[in-house]
Structure 1
Amino acid sequence: MQEMEEAVAQLRNMELTDTDFRGQQEQLQSLREVIAEHKPLVTKLHRVSCKLSELSPDGAHVFQLRFEAAEKQYCSLREAVRQAAAILEDTVPRYSQLSERMDLMRDNLERVRERLQNCSAVSGEPSRIREQLRENSLVQAELEKLGMALQNINKQGTELSSSAPSGGSQAQVLQQQAEQLLGEWRSLCSQGEERDLWLSGLLTLAERFWHGLSDLALTLSDTQQTVLDCEEPGNDPDSIRTRLDAMLALREDIDNQQTDLDTLGTIGVELMSLCGDMEKPHVTKSLDELYSLWNGLNKLWNERYNRLEEQLKATLRYQDTTQRLRDWLLSAELRISEQFLVGGDLEVVKRQLCDLKEFKRELYQHRLELETLGHMNGGKVPKDSASECPVGDLRERWDSLEEEAVNRQHQLEDALLGLGQFQNQLEELLNWLSHTTEQLQGPRAPCIDLQACEIELAKHKVLRNDVLSHARTVESVNEAGSGILLSSTGDGAETLQARLRELNQRWEFVQGKTERRQLELENDLSRVQDVTLEITELLQWLEQVETHLSLSRPIWGHLDSAREALAEHLDLCKDMESKQPTYNSVRDRLQHLLASCTLPRGSSAEHQLRILEQKWESAHCRVQERKERLSDGLAMITEFYNTMQELSAWLAQKECRATTAPPPSVVLETVTNQIKEHKVSASSTWRLPTIDMGQEGISLAVGYMCTDTCMA
């Protein structure tokens, strides 16, 4: 009995573990068998004590007490074994169930921890951040469900610990495991809340950046279109000043947009510091293109503003020159009508003829200014000019004045001949022919500038008019000389005849040289006009191409739209290829003209060539770059749609499996296997298709937002 009590006490003090359940059950079974084996002995002792009481009531009292003590001890041992067996039978399934639930909870928490730690790289695109927020909210919802399950586990652990025998250390272990799981759950909840707050702040920053980027890009495009749509002002100063004031107002808007752009750049830098490394190039590229768009707008504004300032200066110069020439022409008309009347005295006629030559010199000099005036302000005549006489009227009045001056010259020359001044007229005419011959035989550099050619032709026209005006003079001198030869003989007649022959030879030479120079200048002007016209047409076409590239925006959302955009741009590429021979021809001809003459550096022709080359190279690079972008964009859209179709098929397959899957089993082993199979399926495939598609979607969104709004 003493050994049995020690065994029962040892059983009561034994800790419950999943590995000792079998041994404890075997020990209880052994104790039951021992108690059953000792039951006949107790019965036998009872009979013996009863017999002794009958034989000797007084002497059997001691034996009766000992029997009652043994019987009481036996019943106590049997009850203790029964209670231990009952506790063990109740504890074993509860402990096993709790242990399995704790293991399952530990696996679930580990899976949630992996999802939080192995999240995809943070994107800088709002839609992707919203998707990550939704994923994080799903994790938080799962943690909330796990928290409720953990509370039940903790409650069961407390109940099991309170019902465990002697409150051994194993109960404390169970309680510690439950508290450890609860601590891990709280840590994961804290991580989920922190990530939710961080993603919410990042979403606010990303929306502020991308919405600001889109709005600023649209504003810059509208401002650029406003600058491009500005109508050319009239040639009067008031309209030009009005346009300059409007451009200054636009300048304030552009400066404000630069401030917004700098602020957006700061936000972009902050966004890049929070994004993953894969997303930083998208933000950087978007900012670079937006800065490029602003730089293009700033350049366009400066060009338009400088052009307006130059136009205003040219208009003012035009008006001043026109008014000055009109005033001089009015005084010259009064002078020609009042002076240079043929006098009757020789000295008076000579003085009048000398004054008339000086007048004609001034007239020819101002005629050059008049011809130059026609090329001022782009050859345009102001519609509302302060001058009352347009250039056409001035030319008509000038031609009349020149004709009147020539008539007066002929009258004075005839008067001199009538007064016997033949020799003076002959010598003066020969001197004029010598001077004119020197002018015509002087070196003439090839002219390749349109305005310079027109001015040279105008100068020669003045000289040609002077030559034509002397035809009457030569004829009069020849007639007077022929009359003298008829009445003269001897050496004087031969000398006069030689002088007249020299006069006619020089006159024929001057006439021929003048006409040849006229043809040369006209040919030079025609050649330069052809080259200038081709250059102007090329520059206008290149400007149209640049405007088209600056304003066009590719449609990234639909496959057919992307194909149409690429096809339209390929047509532009073909047009540029067809313009390539024309560009090469104009460039080579202009280079040949520059090489054939010795013009100073920075001449108008060289400037035109440099502008043409720069604009052609710029347009060609932008056309090729846009072609590559559209091709890449079409490839991305095609890949996106293919991936979307694959994802749709994958989702349909998963939905089919989910609808045909068997319901959760009530058998612990079966439902545990179902959970493991679901975990394997989820961990192997739940993110792979969406990651690739998400990255492609981000690339398309960034391309749509910033690709060609900044191609200026």
Structure 2
Amino acid sequence: MILFSGKVFANEVNSHRDQVIELDKNGTHLKYFSQKQDVVIIKNLLISVQSRWEKVVQRLVERGRALDEARKRAKQFHEAWSKLMEWLEESEKALDSELEIANDPDKIKTQLTQHKEFQKALGAKHSVYDTTNRTGRSLKEKASLTDDNLKLDDMLSELRDKWDTICGKSVERQNKLEEALLFSGQFTDALQALIDWLYRVEPQLAEDQPVHGDMDLVMNLIDNHKVFQKELGKRTSSVQALKRSARELIEGSRDDSSWVKVQMQELSTRWETICALSVSKQTRLEEALHQAEEFHSVVHVLLEWLAEAEQTLRFHGLLPDDEEALRNLIDQHKEFMRKLEEKRAELNKATGMGETVLAICHPDSITTIKHWITIIRARFEEVLAWAKQHQQRLTSALAGLIAKQELLEALLAWLQWAETTLNEKDKEVLPQEIEEVKTLIAEHQTFMEEMTRKQPDVDKSKHNWKHSPTSSLYPSGSQTQIETKNPRVNLLVSKWQQVWLLALERRRKLNDALDRLEELKEFANFDFDIWRKKYMRWMNHKKSRVMDFFRRIDKDQDGKITRQEFIDGILSSKFPTSRLEMSAVADIFDRDGDGLLTKRNVFLFSNVKLHFRIT
């Protein structure tokens, strides 16, 4: 079901691939026809979509691999479980079909030999049983669906019950064969078979046999020991029967029966030893289970905390632009680092417990314990690396924020000084000497250059905080007001625009003053006759007449034009002169001072040589 859902989701993701490609094409095409600030937004959106798409595809591939791996493990477990259950059912049928025990000693020995072969086969299957059991438990721990959990639990319970049943029937048949051998008069063979069994199981119970390890192994060892204890309990009747037969044999025999006493003494010694070793192993297994549970708990609690910590560190989101909020995050991270250092003590405790277990560990569990020790160390180092990286990021962000604020305040202070200086200079009377005005222009040009050099810092301060896009800081007719999250930045932008306008106005006034002074200087040597000749040559070159010019200006045809109409008319004709010169010329023609020029004056202007010099 999960595989099918995964394939459906994979098909759904793949169906959106063309849409992502088309979106990228449209976005790229749109960038060529967009404004600069919009291009940046489109580019960031495309990068975000592409990044998210790649993450989805990568996670899809990883999930596909995980599902395939889970399917393989589940298939292997199911096949192993089915084969083992099939073998156990066949073995149970065979045991049930062999209930009849012969009366002849030789046949009993043959049945006993055959049963020992079966027990060897059963012992050989024990490793398969342990592996299947462990695989099932592993799948159960990783199962996310309740139905799967219940099904795996049922399968493991069925396997365990079937195994215990077969082991119990095997021991029961062994006891019955030995008792039959004993009752058939083969006391020696029955005694020797029991002693052989005691010698065979004694190494498994030895004090130097390791029983420590991970929980799965210890649980398997405990299950195996329970099976052995059941077998040991069932053999108690065989021991009692042998002791009764030995007493009867000693009491009824006339021959030397000392060998019987020796054999029975050996049996009693072996039996007591095995019972003592069984109790001792039970105690050691309980201690090993307690130690394994404690190690398992410490490791998994630590791993869960590390997983949550890593999740928090990896997906913390964007850092705030507010200094107070950033300092709060730094304080929180310091508290996290303190907890992480406290977790180092738990790490040392867990690794110490693991090393202790390794020193007395069962060979089958060495790899597992080493694996858990390696895992918790690696995970701790990963989280520590993420924590240090985040700490560096927070520190850098705070340093950058302080630097941005210092730059912002420095710019605001400079702009305040610049505004005050420009306003004070604007109140000063401009000098009437050309060189002094040129000096002021040079000084103002230096100021404008300094302001231009500060332009990148203003742009940098503006873009350090999120804001609505705008074209330029310089004022224009179509410009929109910039708004940011930081009121100081808004103040900077408005102040910058204000100072820039003041600087431009100051430059205009200085240039106008210089032009006026230079014009006055040139006008000091004004010669009307030279000006008249120059104008007449210009009119002749244009093949025009002065009277035609007069009639064009005289709208009402009354033979008179105003002084201002005359000046504006000459200036609008593009004749190279100045308003100051034209004012002087108008004074010459306006002899009575009434502000009007007559046609007669203009006629004289074009035919009579006048000489007028301003000193």
Q: Same fold (TM over 0.5)?
A: yes
Q: Does 1:682 align with 2:448?
A: yes
Do structure 1's residue 323 and structure 2's residue 88 form an aligned pair? no
For residue 147 of structure 1, what is the aligned residue in structure 2?
none
What SS does structure 1 have at the residue aligned with 2:77?
Answer: helix
**Partners of 1:407 and 1:601 in 2: CA distance:** 32
Q: CA 1:566–1:595 in 2, change beyond 3 Å: closer, same or farther?
A: same
What CA deviation, in whole Å up to 9, does each residue of 1:450-484 have, x standing for no partner? 54444444444444443333222212212222233
| Corresponding residue number in structure 2 for 1:628 | 392
Match status 1:586 vs 2:350: yes
Quick one: structure 1 residues 344 and 301, their matched pair in 2 at CA, closer, same or farther if it must change by over 3 Å?
A: same
State the match for 2:277 in structure 1.
513
Provide the C-alpha distance between the structure 2 equivalents of 1:498 and 1:399, rounded to a whole number of angstroms: 36
Q: What's 1:436 paired with?
A: 201
Contact 1:447 1:524 in 2 (8 A): yes
User: Do structure 1's residue 497 and structure 2's residue 261 form an aligned pair?
Assistant: yes
Q: Which range moved further: 340-349 or 634-643?
A: 340-349
Q: 1:416 aligns with which of 151, 166, 181?
A: 181
Structure with greater helix percent: 1
- Partner Cα distance (1:378, 1:245) in 2: 29
Task: Measure, in 2, the Cα distance between the counterparts of 1:500 and 1:561.
Answer: 86
Alignment partners' CA distance in 2, 1:564 and 1:523: 48
Q: Which residue of 2 aligns with 1:391?
A: 156
Q: What corresponds to 2:307 in structure 1?
A: 543
Structure 2 residue aligned with 1:373, among 114, 128, 132? 132
Q: CA deviation at 1:563?
A: 2.6
Residues 109-128 of structure 1: pairs in structure 2 closer than 5 A: none
Give the number of equivalent residue pairs. 435
Instruction: Say which of 71, 76, 100 aligns to 1:341.
Output: 100
* Cα deviation digits, residues 380-426 of structure 1 (max 9, x gap): 44745999961112322433343344444444433333322222211
1:297–1:586 distance in 2 versus 1, CA, 3 Å: farther
Indicate conservation of the 8 Å contact 1:323/1:387, yes or no. Answer: no
Q: Which runs of 5+ in 2 are unaligned?
A: 25-48, 467-615
Measure, in 2, the Cα distance between the counterparts of 1:546 and 1:257: 31
Secondary structure of the residue aligned to 1:532 is helix
Structure 2 matches for 1:37-186, cutoff 5 A?
Answer: none
What aligned pairs does 1:685-704 form with structure 2 within 5 A after superposition?
685=451, 687-688=453-454, 691-692=456-457, 694-695=459-460
Q: Is the 8 A contact 2:430 2:437 kept in 1?
A: yes
Equivalent residue for 2:236, pick from 442, 467, 471 = 471
Distance 1:404 1:311, change over 3 A: same
Identical counterparts, % of pairs: 21
> CA separation in 2, counterparts of 1:520 and 1:348?
41
Aligned residues of 1:590 and 1:609 also touching (Cα < 8 A): yes
What's the offset of the Cα at 1:443? 5.8
SS in 1 for 2:427: coil
Name the aligned partner's letter for residue 558 of structure 1.
D
Match runs of 1:178-577 below 5 Å: 238-240=1-3, 242-243=5-6, 307-381=66-140, 383=147, 390-441=155-206, 444=209, 447-492=212-257, 494-577=258-341
Paired letter, 1:318: F
Tell me, yes or no, if the aligned pair for 1:336 and 1:405 is still in contact at 8 Å.
yes
The residue matched to 2:71 in structure 1 has which SS?
helix
1:436 CA drift (Å): 1.9
Secondary structure in structure 2 of the residue aligned to 1:553: coil
Does the 8 A contact of 2:103 with 2:184 survive in 1?
A: no
Q: Distance in 2 between matches of 1:247 and 1:377?
A: 28
Pick closer, same or farther for the CA change 1:292–1:428 going to 2, 3 Å: farther
Partner Cα distance (1:386, 1:343) in 2: 43
- Over 3 Å counting, the alpha-carbon distance change for 1:641 and 1:563 in structure 2 is same
Q: Distance in 2 between matches of 1:679 and 1:537?
A: 70
Q: What SS is found at the alignment partner of 1:578?
A: helix
Deviation at 1:312, TM superposition (A): 2.3
8 Å Cα contact 1:535/1:586 also seen in 2: yes
Return the offset for 1:506: 0.5
**CA distance in structure 2 between the aligned counterparts of 1:512 and 1:291, rounded to whole angstroms:** 70
**Distance in 2 of aligned mates of 1:681 and 1:587:** 69
CA distance in 2: counterparts of 1:544 and 1:251, whole angstroms: 32
* CA RMSD across the alignment: 4.5
In structure 2, what is the equivalent of residue 609 of structure 1?
Answer: 373
**Structure-2 separation of matches of 1:423 and 1:511:** 23
Q: Are the equivalent residues in 2 in contact too, given 1:664–1:671 (CA < 8 A)?
A: no
Q: Distance in 1 between matches of 2:79 and 2:252?
A: 58
User: Structure 2: how far apart are the matches of 1:601 and 1:472?
Assistant: 36
Distance 1:247 1:342 in 2: 63
Which amino acid in the other structure matches residue 472 of structure 1? S
CA contact (8 A) 2:217 2:365 kept: no
Structure 1 spans left out of the alignment, 5+ residues:
1-237, 262-289, 702-712
| Displacement of 1:315 | 1.0
CA distances 1:467-509 after superposition (whole Å, capped 9, x unpaired):
33322221221222223333335522x3212211110100111
Corresponding residue number in structure 2 for 1:193: none
Query: Aligned in 2, Cα 1:463/1:497: closer, same or farther, shift over 3 Å?
Result: same
Q: Within 2, Cα distance between the matches of 1:579 and 1:364?
A: 44
Distance 1:683 1:356 in 2: 107
The C-alpha deviation readout for 1:119-170, integer Å capped at 9, x for no partner, is xxxxxxxxxxxxxxxxxxxxxxxxxxxxxxxxxxxxxxxxxxxxxxxxxxxx
What secondary structure sits across from 1:557 in the alignment?
coil
1:640 counterpart SS class:
helix
TM-score by length of 2: 0.59
Judged with a 3 Å threshold, the aligned counterparts in structure 2 of structure 1 residues 511 and 600 are, in CA distance, closer, same or farther, namely closer
- Match of 1:603, SS state, is helix
Matched position secondary structure for 2:317:
coil
Indicate if the aligned counterparts of 1:554 and 1:562 stay in contact, CA closer than 8 A.
Answer: no
Give distance in 2, aligned partners of 1:599 and 1:251.
48
- What's the CA shift for 1:646? 4.0
Partner of 1:135: none
Name the CA shift for 1:302/1:573 in 2 (closer, same or farther; >3 Å): farther
Counterpart of 1:223?
none
Judged with a 3 Å threshold, the aligned counterparts in structure 2 of structure 1 residues 587 and 548 are, in CA distance, closer, same or farther, namely same
For each residue in 1:635-685, what CA deviation from the matched residue of structure 2 results, as whole angstroms up to 9, or x when unmatched? 321332343244334434444554562388595647555534432433345
TM-score for the superposition, normalised by structure 1: 0.52
Maintained 8 Å contact 1:371/1:455: yes
**Whole-angstrom CA distance in 2 between matches of 1:380 and 1:648:** 66
Deviation at residue 575 of structure 1 after TM alignment: 1.7
2 CA distance for matches of 1:546 and 1:564? Answer: 20
**Mapping of residues 25-44 of structure 1, within 5 Å:** none
Amino acid at match of 2:374: R
Aligned to 1:47: none
1:595–1:544 Cα change, 3 Å:
same
Which residue number in structure 2 is paired with residue 638 of structure 1?
A: 402
Whether contact under 8 Å (2:358, 2:366) holds in the other structure is: no
